[in-house]
């Protein structure tokens, strides 16, 4: 039997440490659990929302009047140069596993929180690489609760997006096959050291959901402008709203300095969008999901 919690504080399940309560909250560790949780939501005639590691999300202050289904499908196996992983495995764990097995291609993911399922959902990436570069195929449970395998091309990957990244998505990622290349663990470890050095002093220590806005890219995927730089050029670093703040370390973060509400964060999001539009005539688009 599933342990279905009522009025569960969502701040406990988000890296932002912000959010009201979910009417119902359930952790699923198998496909059978997921089917039971979806059946429960249908029986109650309530919407459901799929949660991974909670690292790219802002829950609103009113909470969620439905069922939050946290996907914790674990386990992975190495098949040649592929890693086949449950959707709930942390991306950071798979980075380590790949290096230990002399596979290369995932080094960019070091230090990025969240699960591989969540990473695929939002096409997470860093330093010019994205998880879509590594995806071979994924398995989902569809609305008809039948399994379906999608190729990389069928996932609709775009910059920080996939076909699954929408509030009303009902296709549940259960398994991800990552296609990697033969590597050298010493070279991979050097690469990781370099990435961690680049990150040092740029990532604020307070709770956040990572980068708030997408960078501005051309149609062919080239970087036009970094969202953080645009925010900084508007003089917004250090700006506060309640317990939320745009840190001096990085203009594309909004951090919870303690006791921040979702409405505090949204005020700063809207301020950034307004000022960047006025100064540069550029429309910033959120990378984080507001639920």
Q: Could you read off the pLDDT tens digit of each residue along the chain, which spans 291 residues?
A: 789 999 999 999 999 999 999 999 999 999 999 999 999 999 999 999 999 999 899 999 999 999 999 999 999 999 999 999 999 999 999 999 999 999 999 999 998 889 999 999 999 988 888 999 999 999 999 877 789 999 999 999 998 899 998 877 889 999 999 999 999 999 999 999 988 888 777 889 999 999 999 999 887 778 889 999 999 999 999 999 999 999 998 999 999 999 999 999 999 999 999 999 999 999 999 999 999
Fold of the CATH domain 216-290: 3.90.78
User: Considering the domain 76-199 in this protein, what is its CATH number?
Assistant: 3.30.465.10
- Asked if CATH classification 3.40.50.720 holds for the domain at 4-71, the reply, yes or no, is no
Q: For the chain, give every domain's residue range.
A: 4-71, 76-199, 216-290
**Terminal-to-terminal C-alpha distance of the chain:** 27
Cα dihedral across residues 122, 211, 235, 18: positive or negative = positive
Instruction: Round to whole Å and give the CA distance between 237 and 76.
Output: 42
Cβ atoms of residues 48 and 68 within 8 Å: yes
Angle between helices 185-199 and 91-100 (to 10 degrees): 150
For Cα atoms 79, 99, 77, give the angle at the middle one, nearest 5 degrees.
25
Reported pTM:
0.90
Buried b (16+ CB within 10 A) or exposed e, 186-197: eebeebbeebee
C-alpha R_g of the chain: 19
């Amino acid at each position: 039997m599933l342990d279905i919690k009522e009025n569960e504080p969502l701040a406990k399940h988000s890296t932002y440490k912000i959010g009201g309560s979910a009417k119902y909250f359930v952790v699923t560790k198998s496909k059978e659990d997921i089917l039971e949780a979806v059946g429960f939501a249908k029986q109650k005639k309530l919407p459901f929302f799929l949660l991974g590691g909670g690292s790219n999300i802002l829950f609103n202050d009113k909470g969620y009047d439905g069922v939050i289904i946290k996907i914790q499908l674990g386990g992975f196996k190495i098949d040649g140069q592929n890693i086949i992983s449950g959707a709930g495995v942390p991306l950071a764990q798979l980075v380590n596993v790949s290096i230990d097995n002399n596979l290369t291609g995932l080094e960019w993911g070091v230090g990025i929180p969240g699960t591989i399922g969540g990473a695929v959902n939002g096409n997470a990436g860093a330093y010019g690489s994205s998880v879509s570069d590594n995806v071979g195929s994924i398995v989902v449970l569809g609305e008809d609760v039948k399994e379906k395998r999608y190729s990389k091309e069928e996932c609709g990957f775009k910059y920080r997006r996939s076909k699954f990244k929408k509030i009303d998505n009902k296709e549940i990622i259960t398994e991800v096959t990552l296609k990697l290349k033969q590597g050298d663990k010493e070279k991979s470890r050097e690469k990781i050291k370099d990435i961690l050095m680049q990150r040092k002093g740029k990532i604020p220590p307070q709770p956040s959901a990572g980068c708030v806005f997408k960078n501005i890219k051309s149609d062919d995927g080239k970087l036009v402008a970094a969202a953080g730089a645009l925010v900084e050029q508007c003089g917004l670093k250090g700006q506060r709203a309640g317990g939320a703040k745009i840190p001096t370390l990085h203009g594309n973060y909004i951090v919870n300095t303690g006791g921040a509400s979702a409405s505090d964060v949204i005020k700063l999001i809207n301020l950034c969008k307004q000022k960047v539009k006025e100064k540069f005539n550029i429309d910033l688009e959120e990378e984080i999901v507001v639920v």
